[in-house]
Amino acid sequence: MSDSEKAVGAGRGVLYIAFAKLYFILGGFALETLLPRLLGDVLYGAYGVVVPWMSIFNNVIVTGSIQAVSRETTADPGRAADVRAAGLRMQLVVGLPIACLFALGAPLWAWIEHDPGKTGLLAISAGVVAFYSLYTVFVGSANGTRQFNKQAGLDMTFSTLKVGGILAAAALGLGVWGAIEAWVTAAALVLLVAIAWVGWPRNLRAGTAHSLRPMLRYFAGLVLYLIVMNLIMAVDTFLLKRLVTEWFVAHDVASAVTDHADRQVAYYRVVQNLARLPYQLMIAVTFVVFPLVSRSTFEKDAEKTRSYVRAAMRYSLVFAGLMGAVLASQSAPLIAFLYPEPYAAEGGPALAILALGNVAFALFTIAGTILNGAGRTRDAILVAALTLGLLVVGLFLGIPHGAPGREVLAICAAATTTAMALGAAASGWYLWKRFGAFLPILTVVRVAIAAVAAIAAGRFLVPHGKVMTLAFTLVSAAVYLVVIVATRELGSADVAALRRRKT
């Protein structure tokens, strides 16, 4: 395949996966905006306590399996079926035991949160981890063979099954138990779809040790990084639940302490759902840049690797900055647009802070993906561990001093944003050290100017009603884009490059 054909394939891959991620995000919005209404704030908070615990284990399996299978497939696409067979065998010693470990540890996770009543819910959610560990082998195979259309189709199918099932269970009055059980069922069904579409290997013994052992070594090296990364995404929720529970006990709120703490989690989960938009949309970049960087490092093509790093980081900052600035500019009105009161009153200040933190987290995640794709997992782990340590310290120092509601939510968001910003800077230093590329200083300056202008415009325009909220959100976005174009951060050369990838 020629370089031009590879560029076209990469461009199409971004479009396929970006569309799938957009569909996923829209489905997630439908789920997360309707669940508070169907479950109420206390049960929605309970759901918000269980899901992050399950997601730590699940996301480790998902990302680790996809990248391990994709990387081995990329090295020799002709052996894709053998690698798939080895990947399924790998899950017998990795994925399924981890799912069992999570289920058996449910009493411990509940004890950490001062909430033993969540033990059963945590245990049953392990079914998602088990089914998804097998499903991700097929997704990794599609990614490694650059069948991004199949990868996108599977993601969209799972999103449909998951969102539809959870909402149906909640609407039928089955509560949090029904919602988690529906999620487990969706994971089982999408596994069957993946087997039918990507293909079950004819011989599970195919792909001998030369396929299985490299994947296991790579996964073992990656697993610590993934655990730390997922803890970064979840530890603010964990510590908010635990430390707010202790606050209520210390202030003699003796009745329904668990419900009061779950309600704070519900408010903060709404903030997280919106603030993570920049990160979620940039995930499409990681799925495409990982096999590209893996291939260029296999080929020892330093210049090509540098070009991938520069392009991925620059465009990610520009477009993540747009989303972060818009969310920060209309934080409380956007929450009120989507959620019932008092979510906007409690979470508005926190969203303005956390939205900008997730711009940094998007860059941090892409940098980690590049380091892992190039085999520099140790560097990625060091930066992630530093970020997690700073975050935990900040949360432990801050949360106990905030009263429940907007004050403690803002403190939680500020600690998270600070740690993410420092993590992005540290990961950028490692990219520069290893590849001689990161972000142009002028790009950072121009994006910062555009973000400040957009936020200032949004704060000046105070909407009254949902129609005006949408209108002023578009104004903030327009201000950002005008500044980006006026400062020549995006210009005709970028448009021409995009057109080349489409043709």
Residues 196 and 229 reside in one and the same domain: no
Least confident of 17-21, 57-61, 207-211, 339-343: 207-211
pLDDT of residue 458: 84
In terms of Cβ atoms closer than 10 Å to its own Cβ (0-12, 13-18, 19+), residue 202 is exposed
Q: Examine residue 217 and state whether it is found in any structural domain, yes or no.
A: no
- The answer, yes or no, to whether residue 502 has pLDDT greater than 50, is no
The pLDDT tens digits for 340-372 are: 878 988 999 999 999 999 999 988 988 887 887
* Average pLDDT over all residues of the chain: 84
* Domain span including residue 25: 1-207
Cis peptide before 404 (omega within 30 of 0): no
Q: Examine residue 218 and state whether it is found in any structural domain, yes or no.
A: no
- The answer, yes or no, to whether residue 188 has pLDDT greater than 60, is yes
CA-based end-to-end distance of the chain: 16
Residues 194 and 301 reside in one and the same domain: no
Write the DSSP string, 245-280: HHHHHHTT--TTHHHHHHHHHHHHHHHHHHHTHHHH
Q: What is the 3-state secondary structure (H, E, C) of 418-461?
A: HHHHHHHHHHHHHHHHHHCCCCCHHHHHHHHHHHHHHHHHHHHC
pTM, full prediction = 0.82
- The answer, yes or no, to whether residue 222 has pLDDT greater than 80, is no
What backbone torsions phi and psi does residue 234 show, to the nearest 5 degrees? -115, -20
Q: Examine residue 12 and state whether it is found in any structural domain, yes or no.
A: yes
| Closest among 399, 121, 404 to 257, alpha carbons compared | 404
- CA 356 to CA 349: how far, in whole Å? 12
Q: Examine residue 34 and state whether it is found in any structural domain, yes or no.
A: yes
Residues 183 and 259 reside in one and the same domain: no
What backbone torsions phi and psi does residue 392 show, to the nearest 5 degrees? -60, -45
pLDDT of residue 419: 96
Residues 499 and 387 reside in one and the same domain: yes
| Closest among 287, 447, 303, 300 to 366, alpha carbons compared | 287
Residues 433 and 400 reside in one and the same domain: yes
Residues 302 and 167 reside in one and the same domain: no
Q: Examine residue 80 and state whether it is found in any structural domain, yes or no.
A: yes
Domain boundary among 207, 242, 270: 207
Q: Which residues contact 389 (CB under 8 A, 6 or more apart)?
A: none
Domain boundary among 152, 175, 207: 207
Residues 175 and 251 reside in one and the same domain: no
Residues 169 and 231 reside in one and the same domain: no
Q: Which residues contact 456 (CB under 8 A, 6 or more apart)?
A: 329
Q: Pick the residue with more confidence: 12 or 480?
A: 480
Residues 328 and 180 reside in one and the same domain: no
Q: Pick the residue with more confidence: 28 or 413?
A: 413
Cis peptide before 342 (omega within 30 of 0): yes
The pLDDT tens digits for 278-299 are: 887 776 665 555 555 655 555 5
Please give the tally of structural domains in the chain.
Answer: 2
At residue 334's C-alpha, the angle toward residues 331 and 340, to 5°, is: 115
- CA 365 to CA 229: how far, in whole Å? 8
Residues 197 and 240 reside in one and the same domain: no
Q: Examine residue 214 and state whether it is found in any structural domain, yes or no.
A: no
Q: Examine residue 458 and state whether it is found in any structural domain, yes or no.
A: yes
Q: Examine residue 391 and state whether it is found in any structural domain, yes or no.
A: yes
Q: Pick the residue with more confidence: 307 or 357?
A: 357
Residues 253 and 150 reside in one and the same domain: no
pLDDT band at 115 (very low <50, low <70, confident <90, very high): very high
Residues 312 and 167 reside in one and the same domain: no
pLDDT of residue 124: 96
Mean predicted confidence (pLDDT) in 16-34: 81
Domain boundary among 139, 172, 207: 207
